Every structure is written in structure tokens, then in C-alpha cells.
Amino acid sequence: MAVKLDMSKAYDWVEWGFIEEVMTKMGFAREWVELIRRCVSTVSYAVNINGRRGSLFFPTRGLRQGDPLSPFLFLICSEGLSSLIRAARREGLIRGAKASRSGPEISHLLFADDCILFGEASSRGAEILKNILQVYESCSGQCMNFTKSTVFYSPNTTEVNKEDVAKLLGVRTATNLERYLGLPNMVEKRRKSRSRIL
């Protein structure tokens, strides 16, 4: 199965302490981590109401929309999720998908604030993915919007497994190959007809 996750207001919920922790574990110098912390945490906002500027207020988490640094910090935050998934793979809890028989297993793909997770289409596989996501949410402050997320299945997945997975994850089952950035999310066997898009 492939689960395309929708992150709810991706930049708004990021915990600053989590970014610091991940940067430290990635090997960033303490001075650099402190500089980034100051850039992120010294933000203030004011709201104009009827042409009058209100009092300043200070956020306690989140990344600024439009800040050129924010996408990079979000990628660093996403490294926390990647690390959890890699650990689960090492422990044999999850398996990825292969694009070909001799190709490498792919357990997840990250692009900007989107994420596609690959795993076993079973109750156990869904529970493991759900647990990984709950740990990530509690540490990072991120919230997954499961009602906007979708799950894709291989043709040999049983209807019972499809229902179990969708119920456990709280996601909708994709009925057709949806598109992302103008391209299909998943590729069918009829690759030639699909590649005409390119």
C-alpha cells in the first residue's frame, strides 16, 4: 500500500525545540543551531484592525510562511519522520515497495510538505504506520490530516485488508490514480500510455 499524507497547516505547528534536537542529532554546530533558534523564536506579529495596528504578540511555535528559511527548516523537521521510518525498517517492522524486482525498497518519499509512505496492506502494517506517525506528531508538533489523506493499494490486496487499513488509519481509499503536480501519483502497468503526459 501507499499512503499519501496531508499535513495539516504544515508550517504552523512545528515545535522549535524539535528543530533544535534534530539539527543537533544531524551534527550541526551548537552555534549554528543557536543562531537558527534565534531567527525562528524572535518573531513578533501585529494585526491591523480598521487601519489601526494592534499590540505585538509572540508565537511559541511554527515557521513563518514566506520566509526563505522555512522550507529548509521544514525539511530538517521531516528528517525526524525519516529517522523513525528507517528505525522501523531496521527492526523489520515495515517493508517498503520495489519499483522493480531487483530495485531497492522504498519506504517513504518526501517532497516539500507532502509525504508518501509505503507499507504492508494489513492491520499490522497500518497499526505500525499509525504508531510511527503518532510518535512523530507528539515530538514535532505536526498534525496529520487523515481525512484529506489517501491510501492506494496494489491490485492483489483483498477487500478485507483494504477496509481494515482504511478504518485503522482513518483515510479514504483512492478510487482512481489521482494527480500531483500534474503527474499521476502512482504508475499502473500501462506505463506507455501514462508516460505520454511527459
Q: What is the pLDDT of residues 146-198, one digit of tens each?
A: 888 899 998 889 999 999 999 999 998 887 655 554 556 555 555 555 555 44
The pLDDT of residue 86 is above 90: yes
Beta-carbon contacts of 190 under 8 Å, excluding residues fewer than 6 positions away, are: none
pLDDT of 15 strictly over 60: yes
Is the confidence at residue 30, as pLDDT, over 60?
A: yes
Give the model's pLDDT for residue 71. Answer: 86
* pTM of the model as a whole: 0.80
* Domain ranges within the chain, ordered by starting residue: 2-195
If you average pLDDT over residues 45-53, what whole number do you get?
A: 91
| pLDDT tens readout for residues 68-83 | 888 888 889 999 999 9
Residue type, 139: C
Q: Which pLDDT does position 165 carry in this prediction?
A: 94
Tell me the three cell numbers of residue 165: 487499513
Buried b (16+ CB within 10 A) or exposed e, 100-120: eeeeeeebbebeebebbbbbb
DSSP state of 45: B
Q: How confident is the model at residue 19 (pLDDT cuts 50, 70, 90)?
A: very high
pLDDT, residue 143, reads 85
What percent of the chain is predicted at pLDDT more than 90? Answer: 45
Per-residue pLDDT averaged across 121-130, rounded? 94
- Average pLDDT (99-108) is 89
User: Is residue 120 a contact partner of residue 1, using CB atoms and an 8 Å limit?
Assistant: yes
